[in-house]
């Protein structure tokens, strides 16, 4: 398994918290177990690591793993009882109105497309809360808290209100974020060169996780810095997209 840098945000003998890079798997791929994944990496580096929750491969951000069976049971129960607070940063198309709201729409498998989720009447109850942190001409940066943990929940909910992630080929309209879209006519590319996207994965980052330590019971709040690609996009939007 190829090595990759993984930022450790916190660790002790019970838990280890990482800032997952985009494009990295949380657990092994069933069809390609040789691919780099955090569970194997942490187990090989720090001793056995139990998976408590997951993030999509293209989503970056804070993940907690248990290092003991008892810690795994305790944390899993906290997630099950919705005692864990999960906050994300999401760059979306347009400006949501109102600027702060709750999205309460059931989510289930898309009836006609495998691997995709949708808002359907028979889906599982799903609740997300968002607020606009910063707005630009074509885009907005949101903080989103999810009260439930459905597959693709944020991506589905934001698309359902007409403001999909700025980069999301499955639920949105872009496979990448290009500076030329923001700078317009001011953008100039050297001759014979092809423009590369500043970001080529879902514009979603799990930036804050709050939970009770499984042994000390102390409330912990851990934040993960934005990765370089997401930070570069926000920097350019602040410069050119106001």
Residue 197 within a domain: yes
Asked if residue 194 is part of any domain, the answer here is yes
User: Domain range spanning residue 217?
Assistant: 7-240
**pLDDT of 53 above 90:** yes
Domains: count for the chain: 1
Bridge-based pairing state of the strands 7-11 and 117-119: unpaired
Does 239 score more than 50 pLDDT?
yes
**For residue 2, is it within any domain?**
no
Position 189 confidence tier, pLDDT thresholds 50, 70, 90: low
Angle, CA of 25, 30 and 35, to the nearest 5°: 45
Confidence band for 195, pLDDT divided at 50, 70 and 90: confident
CB atoms within 10 A of CB 231: 14
Say which CATH number the domain at 143 has. Answer: 3.30.2350.10
Let me know if residue 30 belongs to a domain: yes
Residue 168 covered by a domain: yes
Across 39-45, average pLDDT: 92
* 67 assigned to some structural domain: yes
pLDDT (tens digit, 9 = 90+) per residue, 131-146? 999 999 899 999 999 9
| Average confidence (pLDDT) over 120-125 | 96
**What average pLDDT does this structure show over 205-222?**
98
Catalytic residues: 56
pLDDT over 70 at 163, yes or no: yes
Is position 1 within any domain?
A: no
């Amino acid at each position: 398994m190829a090595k990759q840098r993984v930022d450790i945000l916190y660790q002790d003998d019970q838990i280890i918290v990482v800032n997952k890079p985009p494009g990295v798997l949380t657990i092994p791929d069933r069809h390609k177990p040789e691919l780099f994944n955090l569970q194997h990496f942490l187990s090989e580096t720090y001793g056995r690591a139990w998976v408590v929750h997951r993030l999509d491969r293209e989503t970056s951000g804070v993940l907690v793993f248990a290092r003991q069976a008892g810690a795994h049971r305790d944390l899993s129960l906290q997630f099950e009882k919705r005692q864990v607070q999960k906050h994300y940063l999401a760059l979306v198309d347009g400006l949501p109105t109102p600027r702060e709201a709750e999205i309460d729409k059931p989510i289930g498998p898309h009836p006609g497309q495998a691997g995709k989720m949708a808002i359907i009447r028979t889906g599982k109850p799903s609740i997300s809360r968002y607020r606009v942190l910063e707005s630009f001409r074509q885009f907005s940066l949101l903080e989103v808290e999810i009260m439930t943990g459905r597959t693709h929940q944020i991506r589905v909910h934001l698309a359902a209100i007409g403001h999909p992630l700025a980069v999301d080929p499955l639920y949105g309209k872009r496979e990448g974020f290009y500076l030329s879209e923001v700078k317009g006519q001011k953008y100039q590319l050297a001759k014979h060169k092809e423009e590369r996207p500043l970001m080529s994965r879902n514009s979603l980052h799990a930036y804050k996780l709050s939970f009770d330590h499984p042994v000390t019971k102390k409330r912990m709040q851990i934040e993960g810095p934005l990765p370089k690609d997401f930070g570069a996009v926000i920097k350019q939007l602040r410069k050119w997209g106001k």
